[in-house]
């Protein structure tokens, strides 16, 4: 093989066809803002080349999308496809100085619409890109363009469990959409790749899922050097239903697979993502078998996300189950249970992407930097095929970008960051408690124009520390096992659990479990610490062996708690550590009943009471007097409490008396799925104070969750619970009891 390092063709001139003189550029190159973003070209790249005297060829590692290559005016080839390399023989030009001209047209325009080629998901994140975005090299003629798959796979599967190099493996993946705004293309330099891989590894991840794009070979090589695996999801998303377009997409996919199958750290292959009704079962089945035959991989799947979640023909193909549950936090345990394999064929079940949580991003800094992808100029940031395009207007209208200091912008960023951390910890512990789930991929690696759910922000800075992720995203994860509590409602039991972090004074049972990638042999050490920092209970359990990839109960701890307080429960098993807040309140009793007169035609509260001075209602009241109204009907509109939201807890005196502000584990059992209707508030025709405000972290719409007018509190919080795994009825819900008890004290003055 020729010395490639001396034969990179880096110096080119580019002619944008706008009448200006050609410009000198260095390849890799994307034309970015040199043309309006919705312009497909064509753009012409030209380079002078000294062709060696020995048999050789020119290799283009990546051109987006089509490339017509001419040498000394003779067109030698036209290539279609973003992601695969292609060769141009130089046999007839040996020993000569020649001019290479490459005419490039990008996808996303009239010639190559996004859905008619293997565009992947990037056009829906921002837009398509055009250019010679990867290396151009002279190689010996016999250097193959494609290589065979490894003879022996590093991976094997036993029922639902996966093994890598003979050892149990549990994928802890991070979703990557290939978003590199600093470059304008998907081919970052080696130091950028190395840095993001190392930083992801520090946060506990052992796999990167390339979601609907194809990384460079170097990226996969660096992943392997760092001991990490890859999931390659081929760039098929929302494809055209036309047969000829699907045949073109299939041909592009085949070329990608032939060129990338040599990497033995590609653990999983998926044909596409959330395909729904866009493609037929035959298309998916044939492509799945093709990839299986070409790679020999034991883990190939047709559709990441699956028809059971995203519709379409219910026939699925491949070696594992793959679901994308996106839901509010209180619903996750039950949604996960619904997805478990049960009596179906035993094979790995993966959560191919899930558990996103958009945070309040740094709008103030974005407003100052004003990157092209946040601009309201169509030539820089045309909407294209995106369904989410809120950020340009947000930056020009949001109080957090216009008056960040006055509006406590930084405080809200930190609040939503901690809320996201709570969500991810809570959900991941639920996943690790279910060993039928064989691994996961969390959304996502970096903030994008359509989402602020990244583990890294818009500038590539980590949003979380390794210590904040270690307890729930490591090779071993300790979790609490909830105690079942099946309420009797309307003549029969319904599913339910006791809250495992909010408790009543008395005997408390804490069940601890662990899931580990490797076999462990240890004993549990535990302690309970009160709000003053004093250890009130502690202990240790005998040594035991925990098998790899098996969710196992390792301790039942009985604690007779006689003081209502905020506690911390810390546990340690081998190298695994975790902790949880424990909120303990006095049980609901007769004194609580005596405070209220209830109005509950919907029978949500879980108790009836008459004669109290305060009104407690599940419908709006016309009566005057101290009251707490828990809205559920027409006076509300649906909005998730946890996903895509940040919260302002206004009136610090109130939240000191009602200690729930930013206490996310206390809010989980009383959180709702609705906000107060602005129309209903307007119809009150009286002044009111907003105490709790939901801020949508994508659109930045603001809605009240709790307000006060006169001596009446109105909220869509649910102290009676009943959603997902929330305890049902106020008397069964320790957080709900604490909430209405605190409100009663405020109403009493």
Render pLDDT for 227-255 as a digit per residue (tens, 0 to 9): 999 999 999 999 999 999 999 999 999 99
Nearest to 274 by CA among 248, 297, 308: 308
> What are the phi and psi torsion angles at 714 (to 5°)?
-125, 130
Reduce the DSSP state of residue 582 to 3 states and report it.
Answer: strand
C-alpha 749/C-alpha 744 separation (Å) is: 9
Q: Where in the chain is the domain with CATH 3.20.20.80?
A: 155-362+417-469
> What are the phi and psi torsion angles at 128 (to 5°)?
-80, 165
C-alpha 53/C-alpha 687 separation (Å) is: 86
* Strand 300-304 to 321-323 pairing: unpaired
* Strand 136-140 to 74-80 pairing: unpaired
Reduce the DSSP state of residue 374 to 3 states and report it.
Answer: helix
C-alpha 361/C-alpha 416 separation (Å) is: 9
CATH of domain 155-362+417-469: 3.20.20.80
Decide if 398 contacts 404 (C-beta within 8 A): no
Distance, C-alpha 635 to centroid of its chain: 32
Decide if 135 contacts 27 (C-beta within 8 A): yes
Evaluate if pTM is beyond 0.75. Answer: yes
Nearest to 82 by CA among 104, 109, 59, 49: 104
Buried b (16+ CB within 10 A) or exposed e, 64-87: bbbbbbbbeeeebeebbbbbbbbb
C-alpha 365/C-alpha 5 separation (Å) is: 40
Count helices and strands in the chain by DSSP H and E runs: 18, 41
Measured between alpha carbons, how far is residue 395 from residues 31, 113, 124, 412 in Å? 26, 30, 20, 16
Task: Give me the DSSP letters along 18-45.
Answer: SSSPPEEEESS---GGGS-TT----EEE
Reduce the DSSP state of residue 630 to 3 states and report it.
Answer: strand
First to last CA, the chain: 85
Predicted local distance difference test score (pLDDT) of residue 622: 60
C-alpha 37/C-alpha 108 separation (Å) is: 10
Nearest to 45 by CA among 105, 108, 120, 107: 105
Nearest to 331 by CA among 660, 697, 640, 603: 640
Decide if 274 contacts 239 (C-beta within 8 A): no
CATH of domain 4-140: 2.60.120.260
Q: Give the count of beta carbons closer than 10 Å to the beta carbon of residue 479.
A: 27
Classify residue 417 by its DSSP letter.
H
C-alpha 249/C-alpha 267 separation (Å) is: 23
Instruction: Write down the residue that tokens 């020993």 correspond to.
Output: 95
C-alpha 566/C-alpha 582 separation (Å) is: 6
Decide if 665 contacts 502 (C-beta within 8 A): yes
Classify residue 670 by its DSSP letter.
G
Predicted local distance difference test score (pLDDT) of residue 397: 95
Strands (E), 123-245: 136-140, 155-158, 161-164, 167-169, 172-176, 207-211, 229-233
Classify residue 259 by its DSSP letter.
H
**pLDDT tens digits, one per residue of 584-632:** 999 999 999 999 999 998 899 999 999 899 999 998 776 678 999 999 9
The tokens for 340 are: 């478990």
> What are the phi and psi torsion angles at 318 (to 5°)?
130, -170
Task: Give me the DSSP letters along 485-551.
Answer: ---EETTEE---B--SSEEESEEEEEEEEEEESS-EEE-EEEEEE-TTS-EEEEEE---EEE-TT--
Predicted local distance difference test score (pLDDT) of residue 5: 40
Distance, C-alpha 312 to centroid of its chain: 23
**Dihedral (CA of 677, 678, 684, 687) sign:** positive
C-alpha 510/C-alpha 569 separation (Å) is: 9
The tokens for 454 are: 């990244």
The tokens for 55 are: 């048999």
> What are the phi and psi torsion angles at 695 (to 5°)?
-115, 115
Describe the strand order of the beta sheet including 576-585 as a list of residue ranges.
502-504, 576-585, 565-573, 524-529, 535-540
Distance, C-alpha 276 to centroid of its chain: 20
C-alpha 295/C-alpha 150 separation (Å) is: 8
**Dihedral (CA of 716, 719, 723, 726) sign:** positive
Reduce the DSSP state of residue 238 to 3 states and report it.
Answer: coil
* Strand 86-89 to 155-158 pairing: unpaired
**Dihedral (CA of 243, 249, 251, 254) sign:** negative
- The full length of the chain comes to 749
3-class secondary structure per residue, 263-318: CCCEEEEEEEECCCCCCCHHHHHHHHHHHHHHHCCCCEEEEEECHHHHCCCCCCCE
Classify residue 600 by its DSSP letter.
-
Fold of 479-585: Immunoglobulin-like (2.60.40)
Measured between alpha carbons, how far is residue 105 from residues 79, 80, 234, 385 in Å? 11, 10, 22, 18
The tokens for 156 are: 């094997």
The tokens for 203 are: 């946060």
C-alpha 526/C-alpha 559 separation (Å) is: 12
Q: Which helix (H) or strand (E) holds 192?
A: helix 190-202
> What are the phi and psi torsion angles at 584 (to 5°)?
-120, 125
Decide if 625 contacts 615 (C-beta within 8 A): yes
Nearest to 596 by CA among 619, 617, 578: 617
Sites in the chain below the pLDDT cut of 50: 1-5
Predicted local distance difference test score (pLDDT) of residue 177: 97
Decide if 389 contacts 474 (C-beta within 8 A): no
Predicted local distance difference test score (pLDDT) of residue 4: 41
C-alpha 736/C-alpha 330 separation (Å) is: 15
The tokens for 690 are: 């907003």
Q: Where in the chain is the domain with CATH 2.60.40.1930?
A: 479-585
The tokens for 107 are: 């996808």
């Amino acid at each position: 093989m020729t010395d490639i390092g001396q034969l990179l063709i880096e110096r080119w001139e580019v002619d944008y066809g706008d009448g200006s003189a050609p410009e000198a550029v260095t390849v890799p190159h994307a034309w970015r803002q040199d043309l309006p973003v919705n312009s497909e070209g064509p753009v012409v790249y030209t380079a002078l080349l000294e062709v060696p005297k020995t048999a050789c060829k020119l290799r283009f590692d990546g051109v987006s999308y089509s490339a017509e290559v001419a040498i000394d005016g003779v067109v030698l080839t036209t290539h279609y496809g973003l992601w695969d390399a292609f060769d141009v023989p130089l046999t007839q030009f040996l020993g000569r100085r020649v001019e290479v001209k490459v005419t490039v047209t990008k996808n996303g325009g009239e010639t190559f619409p996004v859905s008619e080629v293997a565009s992947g998901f990037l056009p829906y994140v921002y837009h398509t890109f055009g250019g010679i975005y990867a290396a151009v090299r002279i190689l010996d003629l016999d250097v193959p363009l494609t290589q065979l798959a490894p003879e022996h796979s590093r991976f094997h599967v036993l029922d639902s469990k996966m093994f890598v190099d003979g050892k149990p493996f549990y994928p802890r993946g991070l979703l990557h959409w290939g978003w590199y705004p600093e470059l304008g293309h998907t081919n970052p330099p080696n130091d950028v790749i190395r840095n993001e891989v190392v930083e992801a590894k520090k946060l506990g991840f052992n796999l990167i899922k390339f979601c609907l794009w194809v990384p460079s070979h170097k990226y996969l090589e660096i992943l392997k050097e760092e001991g990490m695996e890859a999931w390659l999801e081929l760039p098929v998303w929302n494809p055209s239903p036309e047969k000829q377009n699907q045949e073109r997409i299939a041909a592009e996919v085949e070329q990608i697979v032939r060129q990338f199958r040599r990497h033995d750290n590609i653990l999983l292959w998926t044909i596409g993502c959330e395909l729904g009704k866009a493609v037929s079962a035959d298309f998916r089945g044939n492509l799945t078998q093709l990839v299986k035959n070409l790679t020999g991989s034991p883990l190939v799947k047709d559709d990441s996300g699956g028809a059971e979640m995203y519709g379409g023909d219910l026939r699925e193909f491949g070696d594992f189950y793959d679901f994308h549950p996106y839901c509010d936090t209180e619903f996750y345990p039950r949604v996960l249970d619904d997805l478990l394999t049960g009596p179906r064929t035993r094979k790995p079940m993966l959560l191919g992407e899930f558990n996103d949580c958009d945070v309040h991003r740094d709008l103030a800094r974005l407003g100052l930097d004003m990157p092209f992808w946040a601009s309201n100029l169509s030539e820089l940031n045309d909407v294209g095929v995106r369904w989410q395009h809120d950020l340009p207007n947000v930056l020009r209208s949001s109080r957090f970008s216009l008056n960040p200091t006055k509006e406590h912008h930084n405080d809200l960023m930190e609040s939503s960051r901690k809320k996201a951390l709570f969500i991810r910890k809570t959900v991941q512990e639920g996943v690790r408690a279910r060993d039928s789930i064989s691994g996961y991929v969390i959304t996502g690696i970096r903030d994008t124009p359509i989402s602020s759910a990244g583990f890294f922000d818009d500038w590539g800075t980590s949003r979380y520390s390794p210590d904040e992720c270690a307890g729930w995203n490591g090779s071993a994860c300790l979790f609490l096992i909830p105690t079942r509590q099946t309420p009797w409602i309307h003549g029969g039991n319904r599913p339910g659990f006791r809250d495992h972090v909010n408790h009543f004074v008395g005997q408390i049972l804490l069940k601890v479990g662990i899931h580990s990638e490797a076999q462990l042999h240890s004993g549990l050490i535990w302690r309970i610490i009160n709000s003053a920092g004093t250890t009130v209970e502690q202990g240790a359990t005998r040594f035991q062996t925990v098998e790899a990839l098996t969710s196992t109960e390792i301790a039942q701890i009985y604690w007779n708690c006689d003081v209502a307080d905020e506690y911390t429960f810390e546990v340690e098993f081998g190298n695994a550590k975790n902790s949880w807040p424990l909120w303990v309140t006095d049980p609901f009793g007769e004194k609580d009943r005596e405070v209220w007169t209830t109005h509950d035609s919907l029978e949500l509260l879980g108790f009836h009471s008459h004669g109290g001075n305060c009104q407690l209602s599940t419908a709006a009241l016309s009566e005057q007097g101290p009251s707490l109204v828990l809205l559920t009907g027409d006076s509300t509109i649906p909005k998730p409490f946890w996903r895509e939201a940040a919260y302002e807890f206004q009136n610090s005196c109130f939240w000191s008396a009602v200690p729930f502000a930013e206490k996310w584990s206390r809010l989980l059992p009383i959180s709702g799925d609705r906000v107060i209707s602005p129309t209903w508030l307007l119809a009150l025709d009286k002044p009111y104070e907003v105490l709790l405000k939901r801020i949508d972290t994508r659109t930045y719409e603001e809605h009240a969750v709790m307000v006060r007018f006169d001596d009446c509190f109105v909220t869509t919080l649910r102290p009676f619970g009943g959603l997902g795994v929330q305890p049902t009825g106020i008397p069964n819900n320790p957080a709900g009891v604490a909430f209405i008890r605190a409100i009663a004290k405020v109403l009493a003055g």
